[in-house]
Structure 1
Amino acid sequence: MKINKVLAQEIADKVMSVIPYKVNIMDENGLIIGSGDKKRVDTIHEGAVSAIEQGTMVTIYKPEGSSKPGVNIPIHFQNKTIGVIGISGDPRIVAPFAELVRVTAELLIDQEFLFKEKRIKEQMMEEFLYHWVFRNNEYDTAFFNNAEAIGVNLKLIRKAVILKGKLRKQPSLFAQEFTFKLNQESQLFIVPDTSDIVYRLEPLISQDSKVGIGDRHEILAKSVQEAKRAIEISENLKFAQIICDYPQLKFIDYLTNKNVAFDEIIPFYAQLDENQKGQELLETLLCFIENSGDMNAISYKLHIHRNSLAYRLQRIEILTNKNPKKFIDLFQLFTGYVLYKMKHSSS
């Protein structure tokens, strides 16, 4: 640990805020690097050189070369002399401050060292998390060693949880839980499969947020992609729920990535989207699905008479040759809608 000029001046300023005397901070060679008298910076302090050589406090009673009357006390870090702190003034008056000043300086140096050490560990963690999040291939020995060095247990099966939106405050994280900022609006939480992080997040997020949950995987990147996909599916299909669990949406994702033969239905949705009447039919179909075909609930939700609802369902059947009241037909209608919305949103 070396004392740099910024830290040296900080120590000098803090000590001088407590005692009414000029203070100098010298490095391990006796060079003044912080001072209450800026003109003395970058000059050699002979009293400091003597203090370093003798390893003890040196008192100067009369001006000697570049040294003024006062006391010079070695500063230690981990049993090594790394500098000297000097107090200018009548030695009989300033000497009683010597021990207090030395302890203050060493505490500030210890604090700076711990801060730097913490920052280095944080940077190592950030770098590791970045590689972990985006690494798709298997983890090799070097990667396991890097993880162990910063306290990450790669043997745990994990899942990714992504919050898209704002947090009122950060949730408490438990052992082996980590967080990583994906971008300005999305934060990733890397947690063991058994974690209740979603339960902890729910009270802290707004109603317009989305929480994507990936499935459990040995390779974290797979779960991260699933959590992203869960949010994407939910947003594209305008699902109301905040929590988007990929295992529950996997079927939709499968459909959108396979060449399923719904070509005759997809154009139907494209045509409906083009005019207001068509959009009414779309709204009716979605409400029919969401309310499990309960005609009273659907009529109430859409603010229309049951006869109007029956007419709309009949129109859908005429246009598609699919009866929404038949399960197989309804499945095809819903699947066609999902495919249309997912492909339309990504194009």
Structure 2
Amino acid sequence: MSINKVLAQEIANKVMQVIPYNVNIMDDIGRIIGSGDPGRIDNYHQGAQLAIEQESLVSIYHSEGGTKPGVNIPIHFRNRIIGVIGISGDPDIVSPFAELVRVTAELLLNQEFLFRERRIKEQMKEEFLYHWIFRNEDYDKSFINNGEVLGIDISIKRKAVIVKSKMNKLIPLHDQEFMFRLNPNLILYIVPIPSEVVKRIEKGLVNSEFKIGIGEPYTNVAKSVHEAKRAIEIVEKLDMNQIHCYYKDLKFIDYLTNKDPSLNDMNKFYEELEENSKGRELIETLISYITNSGDMNAISKELHIHRNSLAYRLQKIEILTNKNPKKFTDLFELFTGYVLYKMKTS
């Protein structure tokens, strides 16, 4: 620990709020680096140099060169002299303040050291979290040890929970839960299982629009992070009306999107339909047919159309695609084609 000019001046200012004398702060070679008299900064202080050499309080009664009367007492940090604090004035008058001022300065230095230490640890932790959440390869011994030093047990299974909201509010974290801000609108939580973090998040987002992506639990959290992000992406691209985006419920869609390009020939059909209002009506009808499991009454009620109009639209879809929505295998292909189209074009 060393004293820089900013900290030295802060100490001088705080001490001078308590005592009515000028205070100088010198570094470990006796150079003035903080003072109530700005003109003395960077000058060498003979009394401070003597205090360092003698490792004790030094009183100066007469002015000599640039040295003024006063007392100088070493500042210690972890049993090492790191500077000197000087009080200008008649030594017989200012000496009683010397020990009090020294203790005050050392307390301020300890506070600064603890603050810096905490800040460095937080920076190290944030950097570790960044590597952790994006690390796809296996964890080696060095990586595991680094986690242990920061209090992170990376050997246990965790799941990723991503909150997307314009009003993200941080929640209190429990043991072995960690938070990382991906961007202003995305906050990532890495939590062990089981965890009630989703309920805690929801309490803090009352009256806000938000979506929560939830990955599966793994020892390698990067995979769960990818799944949580992907879950939100799928729900948004498909205009699915849901807040909780569980990847396990959307895994099949993701698989189709990445593994089955052979169904992309449906893209042209949906592209043509979306070019006009009548076509969009057919898409809306198909999606309603799927979400209502083919219940004609429920579909008619949802779309506000007569059953005859609904039957006409389903027939129109069959004519245009040669796929009968009432036939399960054809309906599956129609829905899969729609998913692929939306995921590609949104």
**What TM-score, normalized by structure 2, do the two folds share?**
0.92
Corresponding residue number in structure 1 for 2:300: 299
- Helix, strand or coil at the partner of 1:244: strand
Equivalent AA in structure 2 for residue 157 of structure 1: K
Distance 1:245 1:292 in 2: 21
Q: 1:29-75 CA deviation, whole Å, 9 max, x = no partner?
A: 21111111111111121221222222222222322333212222221
Equivalent AA in structure 2 for residue 15 of structure 1: V
Corresponding residue number in structure 2 for 1:96: 96
Q: How many residues align?
A: 345
Q: Give the CA RMSD over aligned residues.
A: 2.0
In structure 2, the CA distance between the partners of 1:154 and 1:57, relative to structure 1 (3 Å rule), is same
Corresponding residue number in structure 2 for 1:122: 122
Q: 1:225-250 CA deviation, whole Å, 9 max, x = no partner?
A: 11121111111101111211111110
Equivalent AA in structure 2 for residue 108 of structure 1: L
- Helix, strand or coil at the partner of 2:75: strand
Distance 1:58 1:313 in 2: 99
Equivalent AA in structure 1 for residue 17 of structure 2: S
In structure 2, the CA distance between the partners of 1:208 and 1:325, relative to structure 1 (3 Å rule), is farther
Distance 2:3 2:261 in 1: 68
Corresponding residue number in structure 2 for 1:55: 55
Corresponding residue number in structure 2 for 1:11: 11
Corresponding residue number in structure 2 for 1:26: 26
Superposition deviation, residue 187 in structure 1? 2.2
- Helix, strand or coil at the partner of 2:183: coil
In structure 2, the CA distance between the partners of 1:168 and 1:267, relative to structure 1 (3 Å rule), is closer
- Helix, strand or coil at the partner of 2:259: coil
Distance 2:109 2:202 in 1: 42
Corresponding residue number in structure 2 for 1:277: 278
Q: Which runs of 5+ in 2 are unaligned?
A: none
Distance 2:221 2:72 in 1: 57
CA contact under 8 A between 1:62 and 1:69: conserved in structure 2?
A: yes
Equivalent AA in structure 1 for residue 169 of structure 2: K
Superposition deviation, residue 343 in structure 1? 2.4
Corresponding residue number in structure 1 for 2:335: 334
| Larger displacement relative to structure 2 (8-17 or 95-104) | 95-104
Superposition deviation, residue 146 in structure 1? 1.5
Superposition deviation, residue 26 in structure 1? 0.7
| Larger displacement relative to structure 2 (320-329 or 249-258) | 320-329
Distance 2:90 2:304 in 1: 92
Equivalent AA in structure 1 for residue 283 of structure 2: L
Q: Which runs of 5+ in 1 are unaligned?
A: none
CA contact under 8 A between 1:207 and 1:242: conserved in structure 2?
A: no
Distance 2:284 2:100 in 1: 77
Q: 1:293-316 CA deviation, whole Å, 9 max, x = no partner?
A: 333433333233333333322322
- Helix, strand or coil at the partner of 1:257: helix
Superposition deviation, residue 109 in structure 1? 0.5
- Helix, strand or coil at the partner of 2:71: strand
Equivalent runs, 1:180-329 vs 2, <5 Å: 180-205=180-205, 207-259=208-260, 261-262=262-263, 265-329=266-330
Corresponding residue number in structure 2 for 1:69: 69
Distance 1:281 1:18 in 2: 80
